[in-house]
Amino acid sequence: MMTIRLSEKMMYTTVKLKVEKSSANEIATGFIFKYFRNKKDNLPVIVTNSHVVKDWKRITFLLNRGDKNNRPIHGDPISFTIQNEGGRIWLFHSSVDLAIMPCGLLLQQSIDKRNVPFYTGIDSTTVPCGKEWEKYHALEDVLVIGYPNGLIDEINNLPIFVKGNTCTHPYFNYYGREEFLINANVYPGSSGSPVFLLDDNFYEKSSKYQHGRDKARLLGILYAGYGYNIKKNSQICNNVLSSDTNCIPINICNVIKSNKLIDFEPILRRAMIRQLGIQES
């Protein structure tokens, strides 16, 4: 398969997280994000919501294999399982519902065993910066990638795409919080899904594809949604992405702005140096 469109590249950035907890098991979404340590090296992490990995005992996820030409092999994914043995594996944001886990060592150990994973991690250059937020429109088309209601193409280990739109202006902080709202059909399992502003038609009408015109921006990370509580007869937040059967989704969801991921950079660098022995350059 030749990767042509951006949406096809994005198929390989998310992972379905199976989180085992003392109270119950959960399904959620994570995605691979790369922080640049220098011009030649990067630090890959898995991003999801803090509430997803709170009080976790074990987490399992799959990545597709890659062949010698760095193309995905479908139907034979690589399984990764992480046990909570008391160490600080997940780094939690101090003010928003975000958590990251450095996964470079885990991926390298898989490669050393000749299990080469294939993924297309998002890097920090896809995060809008500065006045770029001001240039967006109040109504923008967005793409949400994840596992709503735990749905996944199990044969090919591929996620579900959901298109929607912003329903508050992404530049403004909704209710004073660094987030905005979108309208999209998401359900339990979508927590941690990346939300993209995506121009999929990036090629010219010619025989040669113009990859330099790629326009993908990571606008944010889905963490909650509004629903109608049939018992309390009211609208509530944060339950629509949980297993509360009394909450009927109204498809209005909360998205943390992606620039909050940049807050992890100094914390991540210190943690990687301390835990994995990485030398600063």
Mean pLDDT calculated for residue range 23-35: 92
Q: Is 211 a residue whose pLDDT tops 60?
A: no
Q: Answer whether 231's CB lies under 8 Å from 247's CB.
A: no
Q: Answer whether 182's CB lies under 8 Å from 253's CB.
A: yes
Q: What percent of the chain has pLDDT over 70?
A: 82
Half-sphere exposure (Cβ direction) of 235: Cα atoms closer than 13 Å = 8
pLDDT, tens digit, 9 for 90 and up, residues 75-119: 999 999 999 988 778 999 999 999 999 998 899 999 999 999 999
Containing 235, the helix (H) or strand (E) segment is: strand 234-237
Q: Answer whether 68's CB lies under 8 Å from 100's CB.
A: no
Q: Answer whether 225's CB lies under 8 Å from 91's CB.
A: no
* Whole-structure pTM value: 0.88
pLDDT, tens digit, 9 for 90 and up, residues 117-165: 999 888 888 899 888 899 999 999 999 999 999 999 999 999 999 999 9
Check residue 234 and give its pLDDT.
67
Architecture of domain 6-276: Beta Barrel (2.40)
Q: Is 271 a residue whose pLDDT tops 80?
A: no
